């Protein structure tokens, strides 16, 4: 776990719950026992324990509407996928789809990813992590709110296996440069890969944030790193 003086107290997200439909509320209540992992599980937990079978584990931080998360789980039934999200209506919608599509290799956590990864994940258990289109907090005074900081990356590396893949994506080029600069502060721990496709064969579907950025003329960039320990 990070030392107390390193733990971030500034949240990288603002919860805008918006419309929470009856169907989403019902799914959250009915399907959570089957597909949810409570945020108050024991510290340093083996998260594969919550899946039907032990398989390489991939974590999706901030999955939003969840379309990409579910697409990846269907692409790779021989992997387990853990989605972490704070937005409850989105979680309800995803739980509905998991049930309808009978997807068995996805589990959901409703929590702040920083706190959950720091406290609840045991070391060396992730085969991969993706953080796609996190809030770029573009104003100079808001940079401290960005999720991808050196301290967060240290937590991520701790939870990942040797040769695990970290995949970052953004349509805000200043944030791409910022994220890579944060990675460079962990020398010999994250090796950048000069590839266009995910080394594990995970094809990223276009997310809603990506589509919105492209409509605005933004350039989407992907960053791939291999964990070295």
pLDDT computed for residue 2 by the predictor: 35
Does 157 score more than 90 pLDDT? yes
Q: Which of the four CATH numbers 3.40.50.1260, 1.20.120.80, 3.90.180.10, 3.40.50.150 does domain 23-227 have?
A: 3.40.50.150
Q: How far apart are CA 127 and CA 125, in angstroms?
A: 7
Core vs surface per residue 13-49: b (16+ CB within 10 A) or e: beeeeeeeeeebeebbeebbeebbbeeebeeebebbe
- The pTM is what? 0.88
- Say which range, 87-91, 101-105, 132-136, 137-141, has the weakest mean pLDDT: 137-141
What value does the mean pLDDT take over residues 144-158? 95
DSSP category for residue 125: -
**Do 84 and 116 meet the contact criterion of CB atoms below 8 Å apart?**
yes
Domain-wise residue ranges, the chain:
23-227
Q: What pLDDT score was predicted for residue 18?
A: 65
Set 67, 112, 135, 222: catalytic member:
135
Each residue of 24-35: pLDDT tens digit?
999 999 999 999
C-alpha span between 127 and 59 (Å, rounded): 8
pLDDT per residue over 24-71, tens digit each?
A: 999 999 999 999 999 999 999 999 999 999 999 999 999 988 999 999
135 catalytic, yes or no? Answer: yes
pLDDT confidence of residue 11: 61
């Amino acid at each position: 776990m990070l030392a107390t003086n390193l733990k971030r107290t500034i949240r990288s997200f603002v919860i805008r719950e918006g419309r929470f439909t009856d169907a989403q509320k019902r799914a959250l209540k009915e399907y959570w026992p089957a597909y949810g992992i409570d945020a108050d599980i024991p510290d340093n937990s083996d998260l594969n324990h919550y899946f039907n079978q032990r398989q390489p584990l991939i974590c999706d931080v901030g999955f939003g509407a969840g379309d990409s998360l579910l697409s990846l789980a269907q692409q790779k039934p021989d992997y387990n996928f853990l989605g972490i999200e704070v937005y409850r209506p989105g979680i309800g919608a995803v739980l509905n789809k998991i049930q309808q599509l009978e997807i068995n290799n996805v589990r959901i956590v409703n929590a702040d990813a920083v706190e959950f990864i720091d406290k609840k994940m045991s070391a060396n258990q992730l085969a991969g992590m993706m953080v796609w289109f996190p809030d770029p907090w573009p104003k100079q005074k808001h940079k401290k709110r960005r999720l991808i900081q050196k301290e967060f990356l240290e937590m991520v590396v701790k939870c990942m296996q040797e040769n695990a893949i970290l995949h970052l994506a953004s349509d805000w080029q200043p944030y791409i440069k910022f994220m890579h600069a944060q990675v460079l502060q962990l020398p010999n721990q994250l090796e950048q890969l000069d590839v266009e496709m995910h080394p594990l064969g995970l094809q990223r579907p276009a997310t809603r944030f990506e589509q919105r950025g492209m409509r605005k003329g933004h350039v989407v960039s992907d960053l791939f790193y291999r964990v070295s320990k």
